[in-house]
Structure formats: structure tokens, C-alpha cells
Amino acid sequence: AALAAAAEPRLRHWTAKEKPCDSQGLPDGPITSHSSTFVHCRQRRQEVYRSTASMLLRLFRAVYRSKPCLIGAVLFEIVVSLVMNVMHRPVESYTAGTTLDLRYGYTADDVRYWLYKLGPEGREKYLRMVQWDIFPYIPAYTILLGSLLLMESEKTGGRYPCELAWAAPVIMVCDIVETSLNGYATKKFPQKISNRLVLISSVANMLKWAYFALSILLLAYLFIFNRIS
């Protein structure tokens, strides 16, 4: 009896931790303060993700449903791309090799060699290009690509989800991470930055190009699908 009485609190604690969950994944019964905080944080993150995704879809929908806005987005992308090309040519003229942004992955040694070959003047020009890349170049192509993907996906009449347009923001995030870290490495040179940061930048670079290629193929497929169906 004494052993049973001593084990009862432990048994209650064990059964409380193993309580089954309801259909939403929440504990079916009393929740401790720690688990309650965890659930609240998880729900808060989900709300933030949903609201952000909804806001972006509303923005893309507003752009493509307004002919002047869509034309303006196309013209704006053309202008910022031309300016980016003008800023990129001097950087390429230093015979340092292909700009990091246009490569598909790179190592820490690649970054340091490229920055060394650029020289002080070339690095300054690259930093100006980084600023233009982050704004307005990245937002411009994100809005245009997202609007076109949403437009073509909604024309399918529900056969393809409108969430396909999220590919554009994913590219944007990868591009911002890559460009920001490359800019940071340029500012710190000749000091060496962490190999982990270079790895993050390289992975973001590869994801950017992979998602970009997938988005273009998807956009072409949806365009053809909507014209022949």
C-alpha cells in the first residue's frame, strides 16, 4: 500500500504527459503552463504565416486584376533590370570571374578569391549593385512573377492552387539572404567571414536558381494549359 501511494503521483505525472491529443493536435485535457506557452507560440507563428501569405496573395491579385498596375509592374521590372545590367557590367570588367549572384553555389575560397580580384574599386561598385539588388530589383521581380503565377493559376478554375504564386516570395527570401551575406563579406574584406555564413549564402543561391527555373517552367506550362484547354 505504501509503495502504491508513493507511486501514485509519478503515475499521475506520466499519464498527464501522455494524454491523447484532439483532432487539432492539442492536449485533450488540462495543459501545463509550459505546454500552454508552446501551443500559444505555435499558433501565433501559424497566424503570422497565414496573414503574410494572405497579404501577398492579395497584393498579387490586385496587380494582375488591374491592367494599368500589371503594365506598370512589367515596365518597372524592365527599367530596374536595365539599371541592374548597367551596374553589373563594370563589376564584370575586373576579370574576377562571374559575379557570385550569377553562379550556382560557391565555396569560401571562391568568395575570397573573387573579392580579392575585384580590388577596392570593384568592391565599392559591387556594394552599390547590392543596394540596388535588394531594393528595388528584388521586390520588382517578386511582384511581377507572383502576379503572373497567380493570374495563370486562377485561370485554371481551381485545377491548380493559387498557392503556386508563393514560389515568388521564396525566391525573394533566398535572394535577400544571399545578397545580404555577399554584401557583408565584401564589407568585411580582407577579414574572413565565417564559413557557415558562406555556406548559408551558397545554399540560398542554389535554392534561388532552382525555384526560379521551376517558376518559369510552371508559368510557361500554366500559360499553355490555359490557352489550349
Determine the pLDDT at residue 26.
Answer: 47
C-alpha cell at 45: 507563428
Task: Answer whether 0.85 is exceeded by the pTM.
Answer: no
* Assigned C-alpha cell, 40: 500559444
For residue 35, the model assigns a pLDDT of: 63
CA separation for the pair 144, 99 (Å, rounded): 24
pLDDT in tens, the chain (229 residues): 444 444 455 545 434 444 444 444 444 555 555 667 777 777 888 788 788 888 999 999 999 999 999 999 999 999 999 999 999 999 998 888 899 999 999 999 999 999 999 999 999 999 999 999 999 999 999 999 999 999 999 999 999 999 999 999 999 999 999 999 999 999 999 999 999 999 999 999 999 999 999 999 999 999 999 999 8
β partners of residue 212: none
Question: What is the chain's length?
Answer: 229
pLDDT given for residue 72 in this prediction? 97
Instruction: Give me the pLDDT at residue 61, please.
Output: 97
Can you give the pLDDT at residue 17? Answer: 46
How many beta carbons lie within 10 A of that of residue 56, not counting itself? 19
Q: DSSP alpha helices (H): ranges in 20-154?
A: 33-65, 67-92, 108-132, 138-154
Q: Which pLDDT score is estimated for 52?
A: 85
Q: Residues 162, 154: contact at Cβ < 8 Å?
A: yes
Cα-based distances in Å from 30 to 7, 12, 18, 146: 21, 12, 12, 44
Q: For residue 117, what are the contacts with CB-CB under 8 A and spacing of at least 6?
A: 94, 95, 96, 97
Cell numbers given for 148: 503572373
Cα distance from N-terminal residue to C-terminal residue, the chain: 77
- pLDDT value of residue 59: 96
Q: With contact defined as beta carbons under 8 Å apart, do 180 and 198 qualify?
A: no
C-alpha span between 41 and 48 (Å, rounded): 11
pLDDT of residue 13: 46
Q: Beta-carbon neighbour count of residue 124 at 10 Å?
A: 13
Nearest of 206, 186, 228, 3 to residue 91 by alpha carbon: 186
Q: Residue 116 is placed in which grid cell? A: 580579392
Which cell is 106 given? 560557391
φ/ψ of residue 25, rounded to 5: 85, 15
